[in-house]
Amino acid sequence: MQVRAFLFDFDGLILDTELASRAGWELLYREHGHELPTDLWATLVGTTHAPWNPMDHLEELVGEPLERETLNERRYAHEIAMIEAEELRPGIEEYLASARRHGLKRAIVSSSTRRWVDMHLERLEEAVGWDAIYTADGDPARAKPSPTLYLEALQALGVDASEAVAFEDSPNGVRAAKAAGIFCIAVPNDVTRDLGLEEAGADLVLDSLADLPPETLFRRLGER
């Protein structure tokens, strides 16, 4: 297998936003005397297209209308405060540098909005150098687990699926990459570690991307 492109998920993969996102909702649930159901929360990870809505659910538990705008503002502030303390996840910087050295295309493929991704990339000083950034921007038809974003990225890069490697952290992301025909490495975080990444179809699951240096990956894939 000749690798010509690395395609990275963003939330939970490049930057660990997943824990902060869950913590924001846990805060609201606890304030109202309830616990966030982790099994239902898992359906939201890696996508914006899921049948379960945590605010609707909390309102049902409370039994009366909630001040949604106020609650979302507090949740978002709590989430951002946590995320701003985060840096690139281990191994990401090495893979980005390796892609530059080898002349590989680099893309971000995310179910989030472009504004969200750009905001964090700028803080991390990683806003430049990407060959493509594809985001769902609130369109559930394009969000993972649909392969649409991956297929769009491959077309923009001029790369065949057999020449790309996708890096994901969630089952929804893995399913999207595999549906697009891409070799997928799953690197879970504390939120996604027990969500069944192998069952979702990941070709390889790592505790950390730092556990597999890029040159070792190239050698392994060269033997395929």
Could you tell me the CA-to-CA distances from 59 to 55, 71, 90 in Å, in that order?
6, 11, 38
CB proximity list for 158: less than 8 A, separation 6 or greater = none
Q: How far apart are CA 135 and CA 112, in angstroms?
A: 6
Which two three-digit tokens encode residue 178?
A: 């595999």
Phi, psi of 132 (to 5 degrees): -160, 145
Whether the per-residue pLDDT at 47 is higher than 90: the answer is no
Is the pTM higher than 0.85? The answer reads yes
pLDDT at 46 over 80: no
Residue carrying the six token digits 């790592």: 206
Give all strands (DSSP E) within the chain, no chain letters.
Answer: 5-8, 105-110, 132-135, 164-168, 183-186, 204-205
How high does pLDDT run on average in the chain?
Answer: 93
pLDDT value for 41: 84
**In whole angstroms, what is the distance from residue 147 CA to residue 168 CA?**
13
Q: Are 209 and 90 in contact (CB under 8 A)?
A: yes
What is Dmax (Cα atoms) for the chain? Answer: 60
Structure-model confidence comparison of residues 92 and 50, the more confident one: 92
Q: Which residue has the higher pLDDT, 223 or 61?
A: 61
> Given the DSSP bridges, would you call strands 204-205 and 5-8 parallel, antiparallel or unpaired?
unpaired
Q: Which residues carry out catalysis?
A: 9, 11
pLDDT of residue 192: 87
Per-residue pLDDT reduced to its tens digit, 93-109: 999 999 999 999 999 99
CA dist 16 and 153 (Å) reads 22
Residue 51 has pLDDT above 80, yes or no: no
Most confidently predicted of 12-21, 125-134, 137-146, 176-185: 176-185
Q: What letters, b where the CB count within 10 A reaches 16 and e where it falls short, cover 59-85? A: beeeeeeeeeeebeeebeebbeeebee
Tell me the C-alpha distance between 164 and 149, whole Å: 14
Lowest pLDDT segment from 43-57, 68-82, 116-130, 139-153: 43-57
Q: Is 101 exposed, middle or buried (0-12, 13-18, 19+ CB in 10 A)?
A: exposed
Q: What would the mean pLDDT of 158-163 be, rounded to a whole number?
A: 98
65: preceding bond cis by omega (within 30 degrees): no
Report percent pLDDT > 70 for the chain.
97
In this prediction, residues 54-80 reach a mean pLDDT of 93
